[in-house]
Amino acid sequence: MLAFRALRAAFAAACLLTAGPTLAHEGHDDAPAAAAPARPRIAIHTDLYEVVAVREAPGRLRIWLDLFDGNAPVPDVRLEVTVADGQAVVAEPEPDGTYRLVSPLLARTGQALDLVFSITAGPAGDDLLTGALPALPPPDPHAGPFEDPWHAALEWAAHRPWLVAGGGALLGLAAGMALARPRRRWGRGRRAAMAAALALILLPLPGRAGPGHDHGDATPPAASAMVDAPSRLPDGTVFLPKVSQRLLEVRTAILRETEASRTVTLVGRVVADPNRGGLAQSLAGGRIVPPEGGLPRLGQAVRRGQVLAIVEPPIPVADQTTIAERSGDIEQQIAAAEARLARARNLAASGAGTRVQVVDTEIELEGLRRRRVLLSQNRVAPEVIRAPADGIIASARSAAGQVVAAQDVLFQVVDPAGLWVEALVFGADAAREFRGATASVRGGAPMRLSLQGFGRAVQQGATLVQFRVEDPPAGLALGQPVTVVAELAEQVSGLILPRAAVVRAANGEQVVWRHVEPESFAAAPVRVEPLDAARVLVVAGLRAGERVVVQGAGLVNQVR
């Protein structure tokens, strides 16, 4: 029984030893590397261009050529590459804007290759770039299956001396326990100890040694299968390969000292040009009746004077009684006048009367008939609502059969090309002179404004100022809130960036991404002041001459 327990202990110890962490020897550490690139590459630049070349196969390179100032791709130029001591080879342009170079010299292993890139007839001129391509690793002598299993076992054990030492110690322990038993059981204990030692030695033996010294049966991926994924490195920088920069359309700019006007930010809203629009209201009120073409819809184009709606005025009961009485009186007067006219005509025909009496009676009868017509028209004449100006229907508050009161706004007509912005100016800014202004709607492009008028009456601590929108964008609506950035006469000098270049970091601070290497970006905390709806002034955090991302900064900021 004791021998059996010794065998079980040895077997368990062997399992624990083989399941423990593998200690990699020098040059074969299995820990993940901190470097982001997955494939050997060269990244170089001058003041004109930057080049990134990546090994896709032992004898082939993929080359990205971009402008240094702007990071825009440079396709379809003559690009010659000299590899080591060979002849210059022309890189073939690809449909995706890259270049492909095939040369047997690129298949050399064990040494770095000096490359010379010659650019001819490029948009920034001719240039020459040099660099060294990292060497291909030599073939692994331990990769692949071994023909001799004992040689494989010795090779495997040579890299695990700690396991061999532990096996020897357990073998000695098992042998000692077996010898401590009575002599009559010594043979069975000896057999158990030998079985334990054999299990300890043979259990972890591999069938073959994988590439990189005992990595199992797994084989490394081919170079063409490796992917250079964007990643955030431990030091906070972002590795963004050129293929991702092309996909995200990342653009950069070199910072330079420039002058600009100081600005002030105002809160405003969109209003209509008073001379290119208006309101359609009812004067007396009544019930709405659709015109012949129907009531206009929102967004419908109308012309000045076009009939928009008809309002039938209501007649109160007292007015109806008065109108009925007056109508009766007029009818009686008309009947009496007709009778007098008939008599006057008879007398004039017989010579007993005069022609003057006939004419007077005819005039009186004609006046009574006109009064009857006017009275009937006042009872049923509707109010016609017409468009006050050319434009489109911006708002409509009417429906067939709706009863409206006097001075109710039924329609608002606006000319889309004639929109203004009304803003409030507080405090000392009201006394400053505005040289120009821009406005922006959240998520929209900036709009140019021209000053129309400055109020001289203070309303609730603010002064009203009006601007005309030059070339209003489609979709701009009345009453829409906007942010107005007005330029003052005061000039400032500094580094000016687009607003899109400034993003929020994870800790909430404002940062700008610097393009430090062709495929490396670093975040720089900055303090900025708004200049207008599209630009900001860098107060601190950057220096002139640095390259920063001005397009796609938000996408670079999202790389994790």
The count of domains in the chain is 4
Section 90-115 average pLDDT:
88
pTM over 0.75: no
Q: Which domain holds residue 492?
A: 251-271+417-557
pLDDT band at 316 (very low <50, low <70, confident <90, very high): low
8 A C-beta contact, residue 43 and residue 49 = no
8 A C-beta contact, residue 289 and residue 309 = yes
Of 4-18, 71-85, 354-368, the poorest mean pLDDT is in 4-18
Section 478-483 average pLDDT:
90
Q: Quick check: helix, strand or coil at residue 261?
A: strand
Section 300-316 average pLDDT:
87
DSSP collapsed to 3 states, 488-533: EEEEEEEEEEEHHHCEECCCCCEEEEEEEECCEEEEEECEEEECCC
Residue 217 has pLDDT above 60, yes or no: no
Helices (H), 383-470: none
Is residue 308 a part of any domain in this protein? yes
Section 235-262 average pLDDT:
90
Residue 197 has pLDDT above 60, yes or no: no
Of 160-169, 299-308, 452-461, the poorest mean pLDDT is in 160-169
**Are 482 and 448 in a shared domain?**
yes
8 A C-beta contact, residue 452 and residue 468 = yes
pLDDT band at 429 (very low <50, low <70, confident <90, very high): low
Distance CA 288, CA 9 (A): 101
Residue of 479 and 3 predicted with greater confidence: 479
**Which CATH number is 387's domain given?**
2.40.50.100
Residue 29 has pLDDT above 50, yes or no: no
Is residue 356 a part of any domain in this protein? yes
Write down the pLDDT at residue 468.
Answer: 92
Is residue 93 a part of any domain in this protein? yes
DSSP collapsed to 3 states, 306-339: CEEEEEECCCCHHHHHHHHHHHHHHHHHHHHHHH
Write down the pLDDT at residue 52.
Answer: 94
Residue 216 has pLDDT above 60, yes or no: no
How do beta strands 99-102 and 251-254 pair?
Answer: unpaired
Is residue 152 a part of any domain in this protein? no
Is residue 536 a part of any domain in this protein? yes
Distance CA 169, CA 54 (A): 51
**Are 342 and 438 in a shared domain?**
no
Is the torsion defined by CA of 147, 148, 152, 155 positive or negative?
A: negative
Of 37-41, 159-163, 530-534, the poorest mean pLDDT is in 159-163
∠ CA 28-34-38, rounded to 5°: 80
CA–chain centroid gap for 508, Å, is 19
8 A C-beta contact, residue 9 and residue 199 = no
* Mean pLDDT over the full length of the chain: 78
